[in-house]
């Protein structure tokens, strides 16, 4: 029986067996808690950086589940510790989730506080600010 480690989003074999981490995208979808996996990835996005719904879905091996990542972000406000959902934008850098915050400007305010410039609800220099979990966390 494998133990889940949410911090790295991988499964580990019991201590008696040699430790080999299995990347999340290689674990069968029915063996994972998708919501918990999304939250674990989002908590690793550094301040001043952003990622996309699609990049998270792809990293988790669910390429066509960008919308599900959005649903997770919408429901993440009750998670403890807090989830930096403001760091997740659409594939073009648009603040498409802004209406799910306390005010329509709260997402932008949080990003600006971290040094991310936003103009017309879009991250300026999106490519430079983009944090790709597949690259940063490795496959």
Fold of 3-136: Arc Repressor Mutant, subunit A (1.10.10)
Distance of CA 12 to the CA centre of its chain: 21
Residue 7 or 70, more confident: 70
Query: Rounded distance, CA 116 to CA 129, Å?
Result: 8
User: What pLDDT does 30 receive?
Assistant: 58
Minimal CA–CA distance to 87: which of 128, 51, 35, 137?
51
* pTM exceeds 0.85 for this model: no
At residue 133, the pLDDT reads: 97
pLDDT tens sequence across 9-67: 443 434 444 444 445 555 555 567 899 999 999 999 999 999 999 999 999 999 999 99
Residue 98 has pLDDT above 60, yes or no: yes
């Amino acid at each position: 029986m494998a133990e889940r480690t949410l911090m790295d989003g991988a499964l580990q074999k019991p201590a008696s067996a040699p430790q080999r981490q299995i990347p999340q995208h290689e674990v069968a979808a029915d063996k994972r808690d998708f919501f918990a996996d999304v939250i674990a990835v989002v908590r690793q996005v550094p301040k001043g950086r952003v990622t996309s719904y699609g990049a998270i879905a792809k990293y988790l091996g669910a390429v066509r589940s960008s919308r599900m990542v959005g649903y997770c972000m919408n429901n993440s406000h009750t998670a403890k510790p807090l989830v930096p959902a403001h760091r997740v934008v659409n594939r073009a850098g648009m603040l498409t989730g802004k209406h799910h915050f306390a005010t329509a400007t709260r997402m932008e305010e949080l990003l600006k506080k971290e040094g991310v410039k936003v103009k017309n609800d879009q991250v300026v220099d999106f490519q430079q600010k983009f944090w790709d979990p597949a690259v940063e966390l490795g496959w």
